[in-house]
Structure 1
Amino acid sequence: MAADVAVIIPTLRRPEGLERALRSVFVQVGSLDRIAAVVVADNDPEGSAEPIVQRLRAEAPVPLIYAHAPVPGVATARNVGLAATDAPLIAFLDDDEAASPGWLAALLEAQVQTDADVLFGPIRGRVPENAGWTSAYLERFFGRDGPDVTGLTDDIHGCGNSLMVRASALPGHAPFDVVTNETGGEDDRLFTGLMARGGRFGWAAGAWVDEFAPPHRATLRYALTRAFAYGQSPSQMAADRRDWPGVIKWMLVGAAQTAIWGASSLLSALLRRPGRAETYDRCARGLGKVFWTRGFEPKLYGAAMLARADRSSVSPSDAAGIPARDRSSGS
């Protein structure tokens, strides 16, 4: 069969993670002949990923393309990656992920089985050993669960670990909205448009990847900030569709969740219950549904992440290549 898939890996100053992700693609089983190219979309203004791509190109079993996306932001990185290939099928793998050997084959098989425009796969979250009492929660947070069988789904997830039919799911030369470069949600907007056009979403049960959370992200504070942003998604997607009754519905749901889980969070904190992080998470998601407008969006990616990294001297590797609004941990 002709090579018809491009694997796009957005990256920002994460050399070890990028190499791990690339090597996991190089050893794919049953699908290497389908890979037209692997595209590294380097979101570092300094182009720090280029030497890694040059070093690995000689041993890569498939064409390896370097594309520089110097304006930091997850949407920009994905658009630049898309511009570097004309493949009709696009698989996204993040630079903090490593694909299982059968990952791409499972996505492709699921696409044939379901005829979906977008396919999602499961993710195992991996956190540092010193994450303490939050370890189990963080592993679930950075992971993604779904059905045990492949099929169509109404659940929408982030771009990390996905396969998309370019003609239907990725319209135009820059389908990801760069307005979301710092806040994330570029996938929300893309999939809202696809749903309006009658697009179909699928789940590939065997398309496993591992996601490795670095120490500066494997914290309760970071997870709850992202949980708040995830909670904003239902309200924001309804607003993007101009479904104002839907916005009101989600705000009411969020208010109820905030009241219930807020009280539960207070009690859990006082009693120091082992599972209290999950309760905090649900309260944060409820708050996000209520405070969903642009002024309340946390700036987690792009230039904002680079600025924080410069101040703290930690790697700003989350700015591109992570699921911006992965709803897998709940609504």
Structure 2
Amino acid sequence: MGDVAVVIPTLRRLDSLERALRSVFAQAETLERVSAVVVADNDPDGSAGPLVARLAAEAPAPLIYAPAPRPGVATARNAGLAATQAPLIAFLDDDEAASPRWLAALLEAQVQTGADVVFGPIRGRVPENTGWTADYLEAFFGRAGPAETGPLEEPWGCGNSLMVRATALPGPAPFDVSADQTGGEDDKLFAALSARGGRYGWAADAWVDEFAPPHRATLRYALTRAFAYGQGPSQTAAAARDCTGVARWMLIGAAQAGVWGLASLILFILRRPSRARAYDRLARGVGKVFWIKGFEPKLYGTALLNPSAASGA
């Protein structure tokens, strides 16, 4: 039996899920180490079931269908973990496609760094007719990092990652389901890991492409998510009952909002495409200030059952 399982949470994105699965099937260099590929289906209607059944016959490793009918990003990740006992867990999102050496590069980086969690780079892809925001959105949906494999000081997101189960994913349900609708389940996971002295690594060659569908490849959606990302540090400090930390992040956010608000206004008047990045930083700053419940955007879980709601339209 192999020592790594690939977990793919999914919710009603069958075409992109098939693309993600086939990219995992193409990991020829490391398939002997793959104990299972797990599809955690977050659709109450079980829409991924027939696809998984169809692809199971051609899968080069056991393909497991794990129903997670209560929509929520943390619930889906937990369901995927519950379907395997593999000591190493690689997460791939259903809108991502892995490069041929993706898993090999993650595994090599984990050995090299000894990290509890290893992250890889992401190339953002948006539809051709996206317009003036295309460069910003491709960077937004992507993830850049160091040119060389090595240790990281801070964690990234779960998409395109490899985790050592014993240290990074303790207990039967390590992802906090209170984040099901808003995201941020990985912020809480990594904050707890950092508090335990956990280590992070970077796999420079573990590339994946992330394909943003049209309803997500919009400035409005990206800024809503940027606002939610900005809330993360303040919310993490609040969850730890760190009042000083909350105050510090709110002050940082207020300063960011002031600086980038002015920059946004100037760039808007000049009609510069770079204004999208200024809007992004403004949104993140505002998020640090308005972090309490009631201001949390609903971007996951049931929101994804209605794409127009998820896009903020």
1 CA distance for matches of 2:240 and 2:27? 38
Aligned to 1:136: 135
Task: Decide whether the 8 Å contact of 1:7 with 1:37 is kept in 2.
Answer: yes
Task: Decide whether the 8 Å contact of 2:11 with 2:304 is kept in 1.
Answer: no
1:281-292 to 2 correspondences below 5 Å: 281-292=280-291
Counterpart AA for 2:213:
P
Task: Decide whether the 8 Å contact of 1:254 with 1:285 is kept in 2.
Answer: yes
2 CA distance for matches of 1:304 and 1:136? 26
2 CA distance for matches of 1:217 and 1:128? 10
Aligned to 1:274: 273
SS class of match (1:176): coil
Counterpart AA for 1:35:
V
* Residues 208-229 of structure 1, C-alpha deviations (whole Å, 9 max, x = no match): 0000000000000000000001
Task: Decide whether the 8 Å contact of 2:4 with 2:90 is kept in 1.
Answer: yes
Aligned to 1:76: 75
TM-score normalized with structure 2 length: 0.97
Aligned to 2:47: 48
Structure 1 residue 155, shift from structure 2 partner: 2.3
1:204-215 to 2 correspondences below 5 Å: 204-215=203-214
2 CA distance for matches of 1:294 and 1:153? 31
1 CA distance for matches of 2:101 and 2:243? 42
- Segments of 5+ residues of structure 1 without an aligned counterpart are 318-331
Aligned to 1:154: 153
Aligned to 1:327: none
Task: Decide whether the 8 Å contact of 1:122 with 1:146 is kept in 2.
Answer: yes
1:254-273 to 2 correspondences below 5 Å: 254-273=253-272
Aligned to 1:122: 121
TM-score normalized with structure 1 length: 0.92
- Match status 1:244 vs 2:236: no
Counterpart AA for 1:102:
R
Counterpart AA for 2:153:
D
Structure 1 residue 264, shift from structure 2 partner: 1.2
* Residues 73-121 of structure 1, C-alpha deviations (whole Å, 9 max, x = no match): 0000000000000000000000000000000000000111111101100
* Residues 135-187 of structure 1, C-alpha deviations (whole Å, 9 max, x = no match): 00000000001001111111221110000000111111111111111010110
Task: Decide whether the 8 Å contact of 1:29 with 1:105 is kept in 2.
Answer: no
- Match status 1:24 vs 2:35: no
Structure 1 residue 248, shift from structure 2 partner: 1.2
Structure 1 residue 296, shift from structure 2 partner: 1.1
2 CA distance for matches of 1:27 and 1:299? 34
1:94-133 to 2 correspondences below 5 Å: 94-133=93-132
Identity %: 74
Aligned to 1:11: 10
Structure 1 residue 268, shift from structure 2 partner: 1.3
Moved more, 233-242 or 248-257: 233-242
CA RMSD of aligned residues (A): 1.3
Task: Decide whether the 8 Å contact of 1:53 with 1:64 is kept in 2.
Answer: yes
Aligned to 1:322: none
SS class of match (1:295): coil
1 CA distance for matches of 2:291 and 2:153? 22
Structure 1 residue ranges, 4+ long, deviating more than 4 angstroms after superposition: none
Aligned to 1:227: 226
Task: Decide whether the 8 Å contact of 1:192 with 1:240 is kept in 2.
Answer: no
Aligned to 1:165: 164
Structure 1 residue 289, shift from structure 2 partner: 0.8
Structure 1 residue 266, shift from structure 2 partner: 1.3
